[in-house]
Chains A and B, each alone.
Chain A
Amino acid sequence: MATTGTPTNITQGSKTKGGIGESTLRPDGTLKVTGEFAYSSDMWHEDMLWGQTLRSTVAHAEIRSIDISEAVAMPGVYAVLTYDDLPTEVKNYGLEIQDTPVLAHGKVRHHGEPVALVAADHPETARRAAAKIKIDYAELPVITDEASATAPDAVLVHEGRDDHHIGHVPHPNIVHRQPIVRGDADEAAKRADVIVKGEYTFGMQDQAFLGPESGLAVPSEDGGVELYVATQWLHSDLKQIAPVLGLPEEKVRMTLSGVGGAFGGREDISMQIHACLLALRTGKPVKIVYNRFESFFGHVHRHPAKLYYEHGATKDGKLTHMKCKIVLDGGAYASASPAVVGNASSLSVGPYVIDDVDIEAIALYSNNPPCGAMRGFGAVQACFAYEAQMDKLAAKLGMDPVEFRQLNAMEQGTIMPTGQPVDSPAPVAELLRRIKARPLPPEQQWATAGEAADVRALPGGLSNTTHGEGVVRGVGYAVGIKNVGFSEGFDDYSTAKVRMEVVGGEPVATVHTAMAEVGQGGVTVHAQIARTELGVTQVTIHPADTQVGSAGSTSASRQTYVTGGAVKNTCEHVREAVLEIGRRKFGSYHPAWATAELLLEGGKVVTDGGEVLADIAEVLEDESVELELEWRHRPTEAFDLRTGQGNGHVQYSFAAHRAVVEVDTELGLVKVVELAVAQDVGKALNPLSVVGQIQGGTTQGLGVAVMEEIIVDPKTAKVRNPSFTDYLIPTILDTPTIPVDVLELADEHAPYGLRGIGEAPTLSSTPAVLAAIRNATGLELNRTPVRPEHLTGTESS
């Protein structure tokens, strides 16, 4: 399957219309284009109050006092809450380590940390009341990098740490450390004819989902609370929310409301607990909606990183060894940092065969903004560095950079640095071949015969900075490897409830999961799976809530694999139950009921020979079948904390990019002309959605290559650019044509052979653009994003 632009229906996966393999359309599409889809910020309730968070204006300080008297006295204000108002002894929450305060107590550890809450009858009243709260801070020195974090006399970001990583880290300001040692890198280095070293810096990227953090908490009559919220994992939120409210989990009922994008930024709690606290205190429904400024403080970001790499190769181009140290800045609270360390270390070699490696990845505690999950999750930073190293090695050896990569590319059967064999297709060399074979876009597309250049296609675009003079073109390649699903022994299960009944004479299936639809299209795919497995056209997707078992997180490229797997598995059991009813009712009429392999197709029970035995509607009549089942992929195991050995990952996905850029060398402006991608998806359940995900992921990688960065002042640890005016994400003018080439090499271990797809395209997009800019300019460029001053040599230190 090769597609560019809009794909048509490519493979027919099922005889029931709208099954897997078809580009069926989103069930929520009509609501979304008419403005009627209810996002979390659209929730409304009679007699509703508005919540507002007061956040710290300093990064690291003791709180001497908080004076709320003026705020409380304001007309229209219903409640002002501080740490002292928290209802129970549990004051902190966290994904893995419960180190994040609901409201700061005693100390603030980063700029923008929540300190107090207000509920009022108008959002502006709430904002003004929050501004009247007086906080007396005694500022402390800030920890902002590895040197300040690990200095012998460093102030501890978290005093008295007692989490399970503390025994394995060399300093309490290090969240987690994962070494990986395999073979003997020092010995292997002796075989190297060339050695290249590099130091790389990856900036702090923001998920910048468009729908702000928001939701509505409604107190219920039993003393509990109902929460309508945009999140990536309802049950993970529930586990963190209930204890700090002092409520049993069954008294916190959560329903997913419309999610305006996520990309990892909604894995952590933002306004959930705050809204519930205010609702329970006031006895009224409370809505919180962050504005964009607050959103930059309301969620964790992608870990900025320093990466130190050494690679060797023989003169015939075979990699000999790799040594690296990856330092990730996790900021003030742990969030997902331990898992990001696991990914960064275990994927630090990239999709290459290197037997002798010496790897170390750490995540710091600092007073910078907390960092956690974002699309690509630790693998992105490593890919940026190892791909730059591949280009350096190829250049030093005088080899073609793509041929050099192909020569060292992993394949099925390769042993990972963790000792885990790659036991499904790993078409790294083939992806590179496809990217390279694609015709290049024509030179100087901005030139129009006999007329002025179309400046819209030039670097700088409509700002009319160049008419083509000083513009040079470059081409760059990159490839990456990402794990799919949660790794390191995590019990990564999902649950699906499927009901089948006859409505209006037609068989109808209802699929109920707690999967967060964040835009990725899970709701589309679940209906396709149910149609394929149950042979019905009409499938209803029940809203996601906590009245059904956990679906796990919509992240790590796992949701189609794991919740899709759960839907498939439950449908198979429902199908068996339907057939059992059929055998009971009609078994005596036709021997095939007992002897043949039976399927449900096109609303009928058919034999594998195609003979129709009955209508499903006749079989079910007034009966219904409903099952709720958990489903697990094969288990993984933790990495050894000293050697990094272990079968830690479920599955891998691979993508390769070719970037073509044009650079105005005078002003340092970059125009990405084309960003072609090839990816193996195992099996495209919905080709249209697959291509959309790949293009979206590619664009986020482009963003961090040339513009996206949260800038934190190194002296004060304050965020300098929390707005869409100053934090730039690519517009349609910044984003080039993204032709997509999709491979479908089935993974026999996965449902339908599929491979998680959402993250892999974000990895190699960034280094491909960087490689192209280096190719155009001849500059070394070891940090991302590349800014004009890096290209013109005018950077001030």
Chain B
Amino acid sequence: MRVNFTVNGRKQEADDVWEGESLLYVLRERMGLPGSKNACEQGECGSCTVRLDGVPVCSCLVAAGQVEGREVVTVEGLADYAQHRQDAHPGGGCASGACGTSLDAAQRWQAKPADGRTGEAGALSPIQQAFIDAGAVQCGFCTPGLLVAADELLERNASPSDQDIREALSGNLCRCTGYEKILDAVRLAAARQEEAV
């Protein structure tokens, strides 16, 4: 089958998709977007977390056909997504869920560079930079999923408590860090966002 959807602000179509393929497989193997990771492929580890119409989901549990006509943001598009949010909603999150999720908004928003992968040319989002600065990246395999989940948390809740952070990230396993530096990173990103206001 053919699946038409939007990935990181850019319209995509995937051909010859087998009905059983997951969104994760389509992103990684057909779209050339391997940032979403394949650690358990049964929705337990959160490594493949993406946003589907704004909602964080495990892309391994989403059948490719389910994303027809919908909008997906992956870690590759996170920096652009955060920039767009900053431009469209300066100084605040958008807890309404209306941020960048309407088809109209998605159509107006183009990722840079054009292939949707930010690369060295693109700036990092605040949460990406905070993960690097706080030492929250070790092997890094859990990092893409954690970044997408943490970014969504900070969009909903600009100054989360430690318990809020723990609750929001409890679906994302990390085996390297002991989570302390991930907490540090989310706190750091929140503090920087507050400073920037």
Contacts and interface: CB of A to CB of B under 8 A. Distances in A.
Interface in A731-760: 731-733, 735, 737-738
Contact of A695 (B21, B122, B180): B180
B153 to A, nearest CB: 12
Given A260-B140, A688-B135, A457 B163 contact: yes
A33 B128 contact: yes
B40 interface: yes
B141, B147, B180 — which one has the most chain A CB atoms within 10 A of its CB? B180
Q: Rank and list the top 7 A-B pairs by shortest CB-CB distance, nearest first.
A: A35-B35, A519-B139, A695-B178, A260-B141, A32-B140, A724-B44, A699-B178
Given A33-B131, A36-B117, A44-B29, 10 more contacts: A29-B137, A32-B137, A34-B78, A41-B34, A209-B175, A263-B175, A695-B179, A696-B138, A725-B44, A731-B173
A521 B138 contact: yes
Contacts of A792: none
A210 B163 contact: no
A263 B175 CA distance: 9
A211 B75 contact: no
Interface in A669-690: 688-689
Contacts of A44: 29, 32, 34
Interface of B: 18, 20-21, 28-29, 32-42, 44-45, 47, 74-76, 78-79, 117-120, 122, 124, 128-129, 131-135, 137-144, 147, 163, 165-167, 169-184, 188
Given A688-B135, A699-B178, A39 B75 contact: no
Contact of B141 (A210, A700, A732): A210
A730 B120 CA distance: 34
B37 A211 contact: yes
B45 A518 contact: no
5 contacts: A122-B18, A699-B179, A700-B175, A732-B166, A738-B178
Nearest to A34: B118
B132 A723 contact: no
B56 to A, nearest CB: 15
Interface string A201-241: 00000011111100000000000000000000000000000
B173 A692 contact: no
Given A35-B76, A210-B37, A462 B42 contact: no
Contacts of B79: 34
User: What does DSSP make chain B's interface, helix, strand, loop or mixed?
Assistant: loop
A210 B174 contact: yes
A731 B170 contact: yes
User: What does DSSP make chain A's interface, helix, strand, loop or mixed?
Assistant: loop
Contacts of B170: 462, 731-733
B139 A260 contact: yes
A275 interface: no
Nearest to A740: B180
Contacts of A713: none
A128 to B, nearest CB: 11
Contacts of B33: 35
B134 A6 contact: yes
A34 B40 contact: no
A32 B143 contact: yes
A519 B137 CA distance: 8
Q: How large is the interface on A (under 10, 10 to 19, 20 to 34, 35 or more residues)?
A: 35 or more
B139 A209 contact: yes
Interface stretch (A20-28, A80-88, A614-622, A633-641): A20-28
B132 A25 contact: yes
A237 B39 CA distance: 23
A725 B42 contact: yes
A212 B176 CA distance: 14
B137 A26 contact: yes
B75 A34 contact: yes
A39 B37 contact: yes
A29 B37 contact: no
Contacts of A700: 175
A291 B41 CA distance: 7
A42 B28 contact: yes
A85 B50 CA distance: 42
B31 to A, nearest CB: 12
A729 interface: yes
A38 B35 CA distance: 9
A260 B118 contact: no
B39 A210 contact: yes
B137 to A, nearest CB: 5
A6 B175 contact: no
Given A33-B124, A34-B118, A26 B180 contact: no
Given A32-B137, A260-B141, A41 B38 contact: yes
B45 A724 contact: yes
B34 A38 contact: yes
Contacts of B34: 35, 38-39, 41-42, 44
B123 to A, nearest CB: 10
A376 interface: no
A462 B168 CA distance: 12
